[in-house]
Structure 1
Amino acid sequence: MLAVLEKWKEGISYQSGLLATVCGVAALLLVVTDTYTKPLIAKRIEEDQNALLTEVLNGAPYANKVFANADNIQFDGRRYEIYPVKNAQGTTTHYVVRGTTEGYGGTISFLLGVNSDGVISGVRILSHSETPGLGDKIELAKSQWILSFNQHSLKNTSLWAVKKDGGTFDQFAGATITPRAVVNGVHQAMQALMQQLPQVKPTEETTDGKQ
């Protein structure tokens, strides 16, 4: 009897059945895990986005769920998501743009906050793969460089480049590609926003080049 059982176990039908059972159990575990973790991941992403939202708005209050609805646009070969920011009266006070640019280590994803006058209230990096100790200085936790975009607009800033290229913005010692990419990315995002929202009127240029 044992010999017959062992022979049956070696058969194709047994092996196929065992494999199907294992795959079924694995699939069930994946479904259960996804069902349990998906809401937690979504909540964490929402919390992280809202924390960055406060930063790119430079503390300005808002009353709507900013990331609930996006206006997806294409500009110069890149895709952008534009979110209106409204106050308690329902008036749009700012716009938030999610965009990407190509850095030294790959794609850099960022959030850009712009007030209704077309002036940048803040920029923050969402994700990147830049070199630690060099390119990662685009993170606020590593340096204050990202704050240099504050108060710039298309009207008061004509040289959207790093100083090495004759522009307005500093580069990093030993790493020019990363800040150059972010400056170009933010500039393109600003152009995309202004093209999409012609009612946004850039502020008048001041004598020092900044508002």
Structure 2
Amino acid sequence: MQLALEKWKDSISYQSGLLATICGGAALILVLMELWTRPLINLRIEEDQNALLDEVLAGAPYANKVFAAPEVIVLNNHSYEIFTAKNTAGSTTHYVVRGAEEGFSGKISFLVGVDIDGVITGVRIISHTETPGLGDKIELAKSQWITSFNQHSLANTPLWGVKKDGGNFDQFSGATITPRAVVKGVHSAMQALANNMEKPAHDAT
């Protein structure tokens, strides 16, 4: 009996079944961990972007829950979420665009604040995985570079790019890909917003 049990344990079917059980258990643990951490991650992102809202609006007051009702605009296969900041009278005073662009080592998520004249009031990075000491200079805590978008608009900035590419924005020494990605992302976000702002007038014709 003992010998037969040992032979069965050494069989391929037993080992395959054991391996499948272990893999299934590991997969289940990963799924449960993902389900448990996803709300926490989303909450952290929401907290981060709420903290950045005042910065991208340059301190302008607002009376509504800005991130409550996004309008999704797709431009060049990229999705952008457009929000409105309103005063106590219910009038729109600013727009906020949330977007993302692929950087050197992953996705760079950002917010762009824009006044009703289409002029940028602020840009901030929500999250990124760029190289510490190089690409992380897109963070305000590491560099003032991100403030170089202030007061730019599609009308007053014909060359959206880093200076290495003939554009208006500085790049970092040893890290051109990251600022290039952010400039591209912000430019695309501004185009998406402009297209969205033009829709009512276009529909009315």
Q: What's the TM-score, normalizing by structure 1?
A: 0.76
Question: Corresponding residue for 1:189?
Answer: 189
Q: Name the CA distance, whole Å, in 2 between partners of 1:198 and 1:149.
A: 22
Equivalent AA in structure 2 for residue 58 of structure 1: A
Q: Secondary structure at the match of 2:195?
A: helix
More helix by share: 2
- 1:33 offset after TM fit, Å? 9.4
Note if 1:49 corresponds to 2:28. no
1:137 corresponds to 2:140: no
Unaligned runs of 5+ in 1: 1-28, 201-211
Q: Does 1:105 align with 2:69?
A: no
Q: 1:199 to 1:61 in 2, by over 3 A?
A: farther
**Which residues in structure 2 correspond to 1:171-186 (within 5 Å)?**
171-186=171-186
Q: Distance in 2 between matches of 1:40 and 1:130?
A: 22
- Residue 39 of structure 1: CA displacement? 7.1
Q: Which residue of 2 aligns with 1:117?
A: 117
CA distance in 2, matches of 1:56, 1:144: 14
Match of 1:126 in 2: 126
What pairs with 1:61-80 in structure 2 (closer than 5 Å)?
A: 61-80=61-80
CA spacing shift, 1:122–1:199, aligned 2, 3 Å: farther
Which residue number in structure 1 is paired with residue 91 of structure 2? 91
Q: Which position in structure 1 is the counterpart of 2:150?
A: 150
The superposition leaves residues 116-169 of structure 1 with CA deviations (integer Å, 9 ceiling, x where unpaired) of 000001101111111111111001111000000000000111111111111110
The percentage of counterpart residues that share the same residue type is: 69
Letter in 1 for 2:136: D
Q: Could you tell me which amino acid in structure 2 is paired with residue 54 of structure 1? A: D
RMSD of aligned residue pairs (Cα, Å): 3.2
Counterpart amino acid of residue 48 in structure 1:
D
**Paired letter, 1:156:** N
Following TM superposition, the consecutive aligned residue runs of length 4 or more in structure 1 with deviations greater than 4 angstroms are: 32-44
The 1-side partners of 2:188 and 2:74 are apart by: 11
CA distance in 1, matches of 2:149, 2:76: 21
**What is the Cα deviation at residue 41 of structure 1?**
5.9
The Cα shift of 1:198 comes to 1.6
| Counterpart secondary structure, 2:191 | helix
Query: How far apart, in 1, do the equivalents of 2:191 and 2:54 lie?
Result: 23
